[in-house]
Chains A and B, each alone.
Chain A
């Protein structure tokens, strides 16, 4: 059952990912990206990473994707054929990497059963959201605080670079 679920999710992810780069209309691309994000979130749930799944939906599907849609719609991007000239190079690299992946898969073989490591005791007692929150505010406090400073720089930097009246005034 779990395997069936995995193959469904993985299959949809690969398919929609191909559609993202393959479709000509950018709006359709963004929408298939949305479907992909939801299925990735499903994959996280099946791995017992509920927090990551929630973040995936809130941040990627909720915020980033809306941003993409805005950009696509505001910039009024029409069909852009120029990029399709890169198809031969892309195909070449893709085939090379695919071959490599297949060779590696054959070499390793399917004999080993991949057993997901059971969640540690700490995780199973409290939920994984609590565990992440706790380590964010103890062990990983410093990167967490630095991230807030990065946001401050990004915010001020964006205003400096993008404020319009600088050139017109």
Chain B
């Protein structure tokens, strides 16, 4: 099916997931408002139900191959956008399940919490479909607004207030950069749709404009040197929001980066590859080295997240179809492992009310299930076979080898070792050290479900990645014309390894 501009009922179908979610979040808000006595976890299940419907719709879109553009190519629905939307909606669903116990810590506005989470998810869904500079700006701002509030949700907690303020000020600064960059690009080319900009020649204004846009998106994905907000914001924010923040906005920003680099700037590839290689090396090295010194698990995961983003950037730096496949696959593995690790942190934090790594001593005695789950997630983040992270790293390194980015791979491999060290320090604490308080930890049903989903994803992606690789390969078919100078001998759909 292919739709064109004129707006009709059939065109609205392309917007169906977004329309469903918009309606649903209004329902959630209204139910919360007219029925204040309703227990808030019912509201959470209501939100999860809505997200499940949206998820089913998205899978249907993917299977039916529905695609097209709306509003003069401003809004695009293709398999790439659907892939990112599935990731975002899936993350949101798990985050809401993981929030249900944590929400009791908020003294007021527990219902609006779910509304704001859904609203941010909606913004990020629009981000995945953004296909011109105007919708990039407005959707990026839309998705960030909910987060400004969510990060500062623990109003009685000073750290949360500080996190909210820092995130807000730096976020507004990034928004300014984005707007300025967009105005320069529009001023130089007179066009805003990504594919139209592709024909532009490199004038100084255009270069500065794109650099500013990359700085703003670099802020969103939290790559060095735009990472300054990450540690404090992650530390102070309510833990489920930290989990959400560490995955969904980054995924959505990568959707925009991918389209912008591969569609608008395909002709300037040699220039941006250098840029991405530098950012990738900086992110990996800085993130991993600083992570070693962390005493707080949320800060540690924040820095390890910076390093993981450096890994994802390797795929982007490869700049080929295979690079984008590897990137998408890596994001999938990162989603399960990182969300799972945060789920364990939330579950433990709900009981012991602490996020210090020291307090994870002897976790195995207190809850063998959580300790084992954490072990699996950390090993997957480190890239140990046979878990998902291993396949993700191999895939992304192979994509980079095809392009001859050997420096990047060497740095990446060194960083795998560094990362393994600090992940194993946590493992050692959990398994070898003695607990201070050996009482068993109780975990609620929804929390257990989230941990199980994370475990299932991490193990299945590691052992049987074939269907997922087929999925990401299918999602990036639009980039199959992009082959690098050295990779052109390989047909773009050839897979590096079997399932």
Contacts and interface: CB of A to CB of B under 8 A. Distances in A.
A150 B145 contact: yes
B148 A140 contact: no
A149 B108 contact: no
Contacts of A161: 149, 152, 155, 164
Given A141-B71, A142-B71, A157 B138 contact: no
Interface in A111-169: 138-143, 146-147, 149-150, 152-154, 156-157, 160-161, 163, 166-167
Interface stretch (B47-55, B109-117, B316-324, B337-345): B109-117
Given A146-B138, A150-B142, A156 B112 contact: yes
Contact of A166 (B70, B108, B145): B108
B70 A142 contact: yes
B71 A149 contact: no
B139 interface: yes
B142 A153 contact: yes
Interface in B93-151: 107-109, 112, 115-116, 119, 122-123, 126, 134-135, 138-139, 141-142, 145-146, 148-149
B138 A153 contact: no
Contacts of B107: 166
Interface residues of B, number: 33
Summarize A's interface: helix, strand, loop or mixed: helix
B155 A166 contact: yes
B156 interface: yes
Contacts of B156: 167
B74 A153 contact: no
A149 B149 contact: no
Given A146-B138, A146-B142, A150-B145, A160 B72 contact: no
Contact of A157 (B71, B74, B141, B148): B148
Contacts of B71: 139-142
A107 B396 CA distance: 47
A139 B146 contact: no
Contacts of B145: 150, 153-154, 157
B334 interface: no
A105 B56 CA distance: 58
A154 B145 CA distance: 7
6 closest A-B pairs by beta carbon, nearest first, are A157-B149, A153-B145, A143-B138, A160-B109, A142-B71, A166-B108
15 contacts: A139-B71, A139-B74, A140-B74, A141-B71, A142-B135, A146-B138, A149-B22, A150-B141, A150-B142, A157-B116, A160-B116, A161-B149, A161-B152, A166-B109, A167-B155
Given A139-B72, A142-B71, A143-B134, 13 more contacts: A139-B71, A140-B74, A141-B71, A142-B70, A142-B135, A146-B142, A153-B142, A156-B115, A157-B146, A157-B149, A160-B112, A161-B152, A163-B108
